[in-house]
């Protein structure tokens, strides 16, 4: 854990907008997902004037933590061909203790493929640089994965080869790629790119995977399809309904763990866990959600969704989005993960920051 700064409630001002970062009370003995006031509650009202931050991805970099998340368009700002604030963008926040977060910047669309917006960031530190993988927005079956790099985690250079990936040799997929997450295997010198896609009818959301050599630059033409025979995970359980998306992958020992979102947003979306020995072939831990939506009246009664796993310093943290407004607002929270041998379990939220 990095040195803590501050406690209680903190108000940060960024771009003229006050963002409240609350450290609320917890209900002893209950999982964070069920608490009415989560201890970690990051909100960004800079675009809509109401809290709306979703799709978190968190890394440890440069002596602090950085969170990347999706920001909605400003009202009336979804016109094609315009960039700054006109479409979806990616917000950047920082923290020293994983509890108190301050918004410090944004990544805006710059390229033609990005002109309708960019969302769902997946951040990884590779060879001392921050690599951000994200998706184009608003192109339906043609949405694809894009890539940007940074030396400081705040100022990014967009990959000139964008978009860098969409599946081309997967007949079970419509060819769309969203919700990127990259797992780096430095020992093998390779990277897995996990993504969500849909079937040719654009009805069912499923997970696929591609692979690239780390020395390749990770741009367009460097990724090759792996899951050509079918999705590595598809919705099968009642609570998953028609959707599995937002894969977030870590490795513990010799086992890969994928935290994923089941069901489309607010129906409700909930979080499940799968495991794998090779990162390609996956089985579920349980037929029940690992992290369900909250009880009626709780802050996340509409959903607990879009996981982002952070595994650092021997500890594991699950970031996720929630709301109780059917998607009118979104808050990002975090739950520590405890381990019983090789089994992940929701941890004690009251221990965050100790």
pLDDT tens-digit readout, 197-222:
999 999 999 999 999 999 999 999 99
| pLDDT, tens only, 59-77 | 999 999 999 999 999 887 5
CB atoms near residue 324 (< 10 Å): 19
pLDDT of residue 3: 34
Task: Establish if 3 belongs to a structural domain.
Answer: no
| pLDDT, tens only, 226-265 | 999 999 999 999 999 999 999 999 999 999 999 999 999 9
Task: Establish if 1 belongs to a structural domain.
Answer: no
pLDDT of residue 8: 29
pLDDT of residue 75: 86
Q: Are 223 and 254 in contact (CB under 8 A)?
A: no
pLDDT of residue 24: 30
* DSSP-derived 3-state class of residue 123: strand
> How large is the average pLDDT for residues 90-119?
96
Q: How far apart are CA 154 and CA 82, in angstroms?
A: 22
Q: Which domain holds residue 125?
A: 10-351
pLDDT of residue 41: 95
Residue 215: phi and psi, rounded to 5, are -80, 0
Q: If you average pLDDT over every residue of the chain, what do you get? A: 88
* DSSP-derived 3-state class of residue 350: helix
pLDDT of residue 22: 33
Q: How far apart are CA 196 and CA 247, in angstroms?
A: 8
Q: Are 34 and 27 in contact (CB under 8 A)?
A: yes
Q: Which residues, in sequence order, are CB contacts of 329 under 8 Å at separation 6+?
A: 43, 50, 51, 52, 323
pLDDT of residue 347: 84
> How large is the average pLDDT for residues 49-56?
98
CATH code of the domain covering residue 118: 2.115.10.20
Task: Establish if 173 belongs to a structural domain.
Answer: yes
Q: What separation in angstroms does the CA of 194 have from each of 30, 153, 181, 227, 283?
A: 32, 22, 5, 10, 16
Overall residue count recorded for the chain in this entry: 354
Q: Are 71 and 44 in contact (CB under 8 A)?
A: yes
pLDDT of residue 38: 85
Residue 126: phi and psi, rounded to 5, are -130, 120
Task: Establish if 98 belongs to a structural domain.
Answer: yes
CB atoms near residue 6 (< 10 Å): 12
Task: Establish if 2 belongs to a structural domain.
Answer: no
pLDDT of residue 251: 97
pLDDT of residue 89: 96
| pLDDT band at residue 39 under the 50/70/90 scheme | confident
In the predicted structure, residue 90 carries a pLDDT above the cut 70? yes
Task: Establish if 123 belongs to a structural domain.
Answer: yes
Q: Which helix (H) or strand (E) holds 66?
A: strand 64-71
pLDDT of residue 177: 98
Domain count, the chain: 1
| pLDDT, tens only, 148-169 | 999 999 999 999 999 999 999 9
Task: Establish if 27 belongs to a structural domain.
Answer: yes
Its sign, for the CA torsion 318, 322, 327, 330, is negative
pLDDT of residue 87: 86
- The residues that bridge with 350 in the sheet, in sequence order, are none
Task: Establish if 4 belongs to a structural domain.
Answer: no
Give the pairing type, strands 17-21 and 118-126: unpaired
Its sign, for the CA torsion 129, 109, 258, 59, is positive
Phi-psi region of 221 (alpha: psi -120 to 50; beta: other; left: phi over 0): left
CB atoms near residue 29 (< 10 Å): 7
Cα Rg for the chain, rounded, in angstroms?
A: 19
Q: Are 332 and 319 in contact (CB under 8 A)?
A: yes
- The residues that bridge with 14 in the sheet, in sequence order, are 17
> How large is the average pLDDT for residues 167-178?
97
């Amino acid at each position: 854990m990095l040195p803590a700064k501050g406690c209680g409630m903190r108000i940060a001002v960024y771009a003229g907008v006050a963002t409240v970062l609350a450290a609320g009370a917890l209900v002893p003995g209950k999982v964070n997902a069920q608490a009415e006031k989560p201890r970690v509650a990051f909100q960004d009202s800079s675009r809509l004037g109401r809290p709306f931050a979703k799709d978190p991805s968190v890394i440890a970099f440069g002596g602090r933590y950085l969170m990347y998340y999706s920001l909605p368009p400003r009202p009336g700002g979804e016109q094609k061909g315009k960039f700054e604030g006109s479409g979806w963008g990616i917000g950047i926040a920082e923290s020293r203790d994983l509890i108190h977060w301050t918004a410090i910047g944004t990544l805006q669309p710059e390229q033609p493929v990005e002109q309708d917006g960019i969302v769902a960031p997946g951040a990884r530190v590779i060879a001392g640089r921050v690599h951000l993988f994200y998706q184009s927005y608003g192109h339906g079956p043609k949405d694809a994965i894009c890539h940007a790099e940074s030396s400081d985690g705040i100022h990014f250079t967009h990959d000139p080869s964008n978009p860098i990936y969409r599946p081309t040799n997967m007949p079970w997929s419509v060819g769309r790629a969203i919700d990127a997450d990259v797992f780096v295997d430095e020992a093998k010198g390779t990277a897995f790119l996990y993504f969500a896609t849909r079937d040719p009818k654009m009805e069912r959301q499923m997970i696929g995977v591609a692979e690239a050599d780390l020395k390749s630059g990770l741009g367009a033409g460097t990724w090759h399809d792996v899951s050509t025979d079918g999705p590595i995970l598809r919705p099968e359980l009642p609570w998953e309904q028609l959707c599995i998306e937002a894969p977030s992958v870590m490795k513990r020992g010799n086992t890969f763990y994928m935290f994923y979102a089941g069901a489309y947003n607010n129906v409700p979306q909930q979080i499940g866990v799968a495991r794998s020995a090779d990162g390609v072939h996956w089985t579920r831990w349980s037929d029940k959600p690992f992290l369900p939506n909250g009880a009626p009246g709780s802050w996340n009664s509409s959903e607990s969704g879009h996981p982002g796993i952070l595994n650092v310093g021997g500890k594991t943290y699950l970031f996720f989005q929630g709301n109780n407004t059917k998607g009118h607002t979104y808050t990002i929270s975090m739950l520590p993960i405890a381990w019983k041998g090789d089994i992940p379990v929701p941890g004690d939220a009251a221990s965050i920051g100790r």
